[in-house]
Amino acid sequence: MVGIFSRKARSAFWSSMFAAAILLVAPTGVTEANAQPKKVVELFTSQGCSSCPPADRLAERLAEEDPDVLTVLMPVDYWDYLGWKDTLASPVYSQRQRAYAARRGDRSVYTPQMVINGEEHVVGSREGEVRSALARTEPFTATVDLKISDMVVQAKVDGALPRGAKMATVYFLRIEDEATVDIGKGENAGRQIKYVNVVRNLQPMGMWSGGSETFRMPKSKLMLKGDARCAILIQVEDEDGPGMIIGAAVMDWRSGL
């Protein structure tokens, strides 16, 4: 059969075979697209706080209007005694808020409270103060390349720690896009309130000391509750607790956005 193809036909044949070989050896099921926000807002809120709904709405606007800002909700449980048990709250977030206050030395623990990049705090319903705080943030010093395969969540962190910092924690967040709650008792009794970007799980993946390093965890952690969104935070941390956030990434792992 030698010589039955022309030179052009043979070239086309081998090109198609080469392309097919690439498809065979290329990794499948890998979601690589991810956003790298430049600022992080954590809203400490509660279904039992009558002052919180305006802050919840502001958080929703921030999440929708600016892709450079990652806005997440961390519902706290310390108002549950007022008659309504917050259905989204976790004592982990209450402790995180207290740890921020202890590190700052101001003992300011309240709702609604927004913490910007792990440092400055403002009343979460005061839009002007929130936006001013966002304008004062320092640039991140770490980048995060987030990828998710069939089995693994992988975060490649690169960059440098701020001067004086020794270590940073790489946090994994599992996020519920949206939750609407009918509140039956307490200060917001009878209201239906919408919450966006609710953190449903916060856990460390490892410690980072600068340079380039890759952190991994099982994808099964994402699939426990069926939530589609996840995020990575790089946060300076020492014996005084969590401090400045210096890097972040967020992804909808089902669509790769």
Query: Residues 191-243: pLDDT tens digits?
Result: 999 999 999 999 999 999 999 999 999 887 666 565 678 999 999 998 888 99
Full domain range(s) for residue 81: 39-252
Instruction: Kindly report the average pLDDT of the chain as a whole number.
Output: 87
In whole angstroms, give the CA distance from residue 124 to residue 115: 9
**145 within 8 A of 196, measured Cβ to Cβ:** no
Q: Does residue 248 lie in a domain region?
A: yes
Q: Does residue 155 lie in a domain region?
A: yes
Residue 110 pLDDT class (50, 70, 90 cuts): very high
Q: Which CATH number characterizes residue 98's domain?
A: 2.60.40.10
Q: What is the 3-state secondary structure (H, E, C) of the chain?
A: CCCCCCHHHHHHHHHHHHHHHHHHHCCCCCECCCECCCEEEEEECCCCCCCCHHHHHHHHHHHHHCCCEEEEECCCCCCHHHCCCCCCCCHHHHHHHHHHHHHHCCCCCCCCEEEECCCEEEECCCHHHHHHHHHCCCCCCEEEEEEECCCEEEEEEEECCCCCCCCEEEEEEEEEEEEEEECCCHHHCCCEEEEEEEEEEEEEEEEECCCCEEEEEECHHHHCCCCCEEEEEEEEEECCEEEEEEEEEEEECCCCC
Higher pLDDT among residues 27 and 74, named by residue? 74
> What pLDDT does 194 receive?
97
Q: Does residue 112 lie in a domain region?
A: yes
Domain count, the chain: 1
Find the range with the poorest average confidence among 103-117, 170-184, 193-207, 210-224: 210-224
Residue 170 pLDDT class (50, 70, 90 cuts): very high
Q: What is the mean pLDDT of residues 80-104?
A: 96
Q: Does residue 203 lie in a domain region?
A: yes
pTM to 2 decimal places: 0.85
The overall longest dimension of the chain from CA atoms, in Å, is 87
Q: Does residue 21 lie in a domain region?
A: no
Q: Does residue 23 lie in a domain region?
A: no
The set of residues, in sequence order, having a beta carbon less than 8 Å from that of 48 and lying 6+ positions away, is: 79, 80, 82, 83, 84, 86, 186, 187, 188
Q: Does residue 71 lie in a domain region?
A: yes
Q: Does residue 7 lie in a domain region?
A: no
Task: Give me the torsion for CA of 117, 119, 122, 124, rounded to 10°.
Answer: 40
